[in-house]
Amino acid sequence: MKFNELNLDDSLLSAVTDAGFSEATPIQAQTIPLVLSGVDVIGQAQTGTGKTASFGLPILQEIDVQNPNIQALIISPTRELAVQTQEELQRLGKYRHSKVIAVYGGSDIRRQIKQLHAHPQVVVGTPGRLLDHIKRHTLKLEHVQKVVLDEADEMLDMGFVEDIESILENVPSEHQTLLYSATMPKPIMRIAEKFMHEPKIVKIKSKELTADKIEQYMVRSKEYEKFNTMTRLFDVQKPELALIFGRTKRRVDELTRGLKARGYNAEGIHGDLSQQKRMSVLHQFKTGKLTYLVATDVAARGLDISGVSHVYNYDIPQDPDSYVHRIGRTGRAGHSGVSVTFVSPNEMSYLRGIEQLTNVRMLPLKPPTDAEALTGQLEAAKQEIAQQATHDKLDKFAPAAQELLEEYDPLVLAQLLLKNLSKDPEAIPVKITPERPLPSRHSRGDNRSNRGHGRGGHHNYRSDRRGGNNRNSNHGASRDNSHGHANHSSQRRRRNYTVRTKD
DNA sequence: AAAAAAT
């Protein structure tokens, strides 16, 4: 179905065309006429199916732009989703000159109050901050006619039901309600009964729970091997854009540190980071400046990032729904995707739970060997060298480099490159805290060391307390390349690929 | 049990 068959204003159709769409997705084709007819609607669909426009377009159409009051309210589970929704609605409504703002925690409330004073017609927000504004009397909802509960199952999981209830007390009772949810558990149906009137249900085939465009793999890996296995996979698979999920905020921090230490272009995102940081990291990832985004489930749902080629479940999700959401970040908008889930022996039950829900059997993936991984790194290095050579107009250099690379044992050369490429070679041993705290850690009164960077990563907890100074000294060879002439003459980063056998 | 969300 084409958009122009949906009785939408020309102003909206122009914006849709600008966005590059002509064909409506199933949820849009089915939902838009219903919303326009004024009935309550339950939409069972995930982000990436065109959900936002399916409520956004009819809402924008019915907005009276002469009316300075807030006429539509959209409640989102996470701040990032609120921002994303606001941006999309603003884009779709640009020719209607409707004003859409987002209010959410972690950002300056005074600025938001100013924006609220400027008479927006649509407000997108997260529950906590919406309530905050209501209490401050800076958010007036008495003219709201449409309410959207976006990702309702997610909001339910996060315990927002009471908040939503309090927010809705401030909305006139005869409003139209639209509820979106990827899954439809009983509590969602209860909410629907409570807040909605004879809702029409639009269901997008549950068969598409996990798109078949996603190749789903699993890797059996013990906890302490996971990190190495994953980085080897990176080297072999060379993801364009990878999303890596960890179970806790702390593990996300550790993983990020570890990946950075090994020279991967990685950043983390979770709820304890400042909102500013969250936004900037997400922006970097969306614009491709960042290849590896390590995240808690804050990024599992709703976020629409195009071009995620790989999703890695470093920690398998305990909740099967979470798995569906996580891998749904890839294989979007017609692209194919790959997901890899790491499973340790005591996590097999989670795996079974997931496979039962999705009705898909994950293909076992053999962890790459060191040699395979190094070959992968080598290829990447080759490409980089070639690229740089072209860039510097030193085309002659490329064949020479090729030759060099072919001449030497890849293993030796790759190890060397590794050492040269990584920003902090000493930090290469990475230690990720095990899931459960280790039993007694021989508490001999000194807890000065091992938190954090885990440099040196002794796996053996023997009490060699004098060992403090036995760092292996093979990095004694001076890494400081301050040889009189500074090398910032060359604009780009230059590296010395000196070939020297390892002692 | 963790994460998210108001300060």
A442 domain residue, yes or no: no
Written as one letter, the residue type at A428 is I
Residue A292, token pair as written in the block:
């590896």
Nucleotide nearest to A273 (CA to C1'): B4
Nucleotide nearest to A271 (CA to C1'): B4
Structural domain of residue A257, as residue ranges? Answer: 209-368
Which residue, of A348, A368, A388, is where some domain finishes? A368
pLDDT of residue A52: 92
Residues A29 and A150 in one domain: yes
A494 domain residue, yes or no: no
The confidence band for A499, taking pLDDT boundaries of 50, 70 and 90, is very low
Q: How many angstroms separate the CA of A149 from the C1' of B2? A: 23
Instruction: State yes or no: pLDDT of A146 exceeds 90.
Output: yes
Instruction: State yes or no: pLDDT of A469 exceeds 70.
Output: no
Residues A217 and A249 in one domain: yes
Instruction: State yes or no: pLDDT of A96 exceeds 90.
Output: yes
pLDDT of residue A491: 32
Contact partners, residue A188, CB within 8 Å, separation at least 6: A152, A153, A156, A179, A181
Q: How many angstroms separate the CA of A187 from the C1' of B6? A: 25
Do residues A325 and A182 make contact, with C-beta atoms less than 8 angstroms apart? yes
Instruction: State yes or no: pLDDT of A69 exceeds 70.
Output: yes
Instruction: State yes or no: pLDDT of A412 exceeds 90.
Output: no
Contact partners, residue A181, CB within 8 Å, separation at least 6: A42, A43, A44, A151, A152, A153, A188
Nucleotide nearest to A250 (CA to C1'): B2
Q: How many angstroms separate the CA of A59 from the C1' of B3? A: 31
Lowest mean pLDDT among A77-91, A155-169, A484-498: A484-498
The confidence band for A402, taking pLDDT boundaries of 50, 70 and 90, is low
Residues A182 and A260 in one domain: no
Characterize A282-309 residue by residue with b for buried, 16 or more Cβ atoms within 10 angstroms of its Cβ, and e for exposed: beebbeeebbbbbbbbbbbbbbbbeebb
The confidence band for A478, taking pLDDT boundaries of 50, 70 and 90, is very low
Residues A225 and A190 in one domain: no
Q: For residue range A221-273, list pLDDT tens digits in order.
A: 999 999 999 999 999 999 999 999 999 999 999 999 999 999 999 999 999 99
pLDDT of residue A198: 93
Q: Which residues touch strand B (CB under 7 A)?
A: A 77-80, 104-106, 109, 125-132, 135, 157-160, 247-250, 270-272, 296-298, 318-319
Which residue, of A384, A401, A434, is where some domain finishes? A434
Q: Which protein residue has its CA closest to C1' of B3? A: A297
| Beta-carbon count within 10 A of A135 CB | 10
CA distances A193 to A84, A157, A177, A186, A220, Å, are: 28, 18, 11, 11, 44
The partner residues of A185 in beta bridges, in order of sequence, read: none
A448 domain residue, yes or no: no
A468 domain residue, yes or no: no
Do residues A299 and A329 make contact, with C-beta atoms less than 8 angstroms apart? yes
| Burial (Cβ within 10 Å: 0-12, 13-18, ≥19) of residue A457 | middle
First to last CA, chain A: 68
Q: How many angstroms separate the CA of A497 from the C1' of B6? A: 53
Residues A93 and A112 in one domain: yes
Residue A320, token pair as written in the block:
């099967």
pLDDT of residue A496: 32
Instruction: State yes or no: pLDDT of A494 exceeds 80.
Output: no
Q: For residue range A424-468, list pLDDT tens digits in order.
A: 444 444 555 555 443 433 333 333 333 333 333 333 322 333 233
The confidence band for A418, taking pLDDT boundaries of 50, 70 and 90, is low
Which residue, of A332, A347, A368, is where some domain finishes? A368
A480 domain residue, yes or no: no
pLDDT of residue A32: 97
Lowest mean pLDDT among A38-42, A194-198, A394-398, A424-428: A424-428
Nucleotide nearest to A317 (CA to C1'): B2
Q: What are phi and psi of A479, to 5 degrees?
A: -95, -10
Nucleotide nearest to A300 (CA to C1'): B3
Nucleotide nearest to A106 (CA to C1'): B6
Residues A17 and A153 in one domain: yes
Residues A268 and A228 in one domain: yes
Q: How many angstroms separate the CA of A103 from the C1' of B6? A: 12
| CATH code of residue A360 | 3.40.50.300
Instruction: State yes or no: pLDDT of A89 exceeds 70.
Output: yes
Characterize A465-499 residue by residue with b for buried, 16 or more Cβ atoms within 10 angstroms of its Cβ, and e for exposed: eeeeeeeeeeeeeeeeeeeeeeeeeeeeeeeeeee
Q: Smallest Cα–Cα separation from A360: which of A208, A204, A230, A183?
A: A208
pLDDT of residue A314: 97
The confidence band for A11, taking pLDDT boundaries of 50, 70 and 90, is very high
> Across all residues in chain A, what is the average pLDDT?
79
pLDDT of residue A9: 94
Q: What are phi and psi of A202, to 5 degrees?
A: -110, 120
| Beta-carbon count within 10 A of A206 CB | 11
pLDDT of residue A325: 83
Q: How many angstroms separate the CA of A105 from the C1' of B7? A: 9
Residues A233 and A85 in one domain: no
Residues A284 and A168 in one domain: no
Q: Which protein residue has its CA closest to C1' of B6? A: A128
Q: Where are the alpha helices (DSSP H) in A93-222?
A: 109-117, 127-135, 152-157, 161-168, 186-195
A398 domain residue, yes or no: yes
Q: Where are the alpha helices (DSSP H) in A19-171?
A: 26-37, 51-62, 79-92, 109-117, 127-135, 152-157, 161-168
Give the bases of strand B that a protein CB approaches within 7 Å.
1-7
pLDDT of residue A329: 85
Q: For residue range A298-319, list pLDDT tens digits in order.
A: 887 667 787 899 999 999 998 8
Residue A298, token pair as written in the block:
């804050």
Do residues A101 and A120 make contact, with C-beta atoms less than 8 angstroms apart? yes
CA distances A460 to A217, A228, A295, A391, A445, Å, are: 32, 18, 30, 47, 18
The partner residues of A340 in beta bridges, in order of sequence, read: A217, A312
Residues A179 and A111 in one domain: yes
Q: How many angstroms separate the CA of A271 from the C1' of B5? A: 9
Quick one: DSSP state of residue A23?
Answer: B
A471 domain residue, yes or no: no
Residue A234, token pair as written in the block:
């990176």
Q: How many angstroms separate the CA of A114 from the C1' of B6? A: 18
Do residues A40 and A174 make contact, with C-beta atoms less than 8 angstroms apart? no
Q: For residue range A351-370, list pLDDT tens digits in order.
A: 999 998 888 899 999 988 88
CA distances A241 to A202, A230, A268, Å, are: 32, 15, 14
Q: How many angstroms separate the CA of A282 from the C1' of B3? A: 18
Q: What percentage of residues in chain A have a pLDDT greater than 70?
A: 73
Q: Which protein residue has its CA closest to C1' of B5? A: A128
Question: Which position has the token pair 């740089």?
Answer: A388
Residues A412 and A350 in one domain: no
Q: How many angstroms separate the CA of A391 from the C1' of B4? A: 45
Residues A227 and A362 in one domain: yes
The confidence band for A373, taking pLDDT boundaries of 50, 70 and 90, is confident
Q: Which protein residue has its CA closest to C1' of B2? A: A248
Cα(A93)–Cα(A57) distance, integer angstroms:
8
The partner residues of A122 in beta bridges, in order of sequence, read: A72, A100
Domain count of chain A?
Answer: 3
A262 domain residue, yes or no: yes
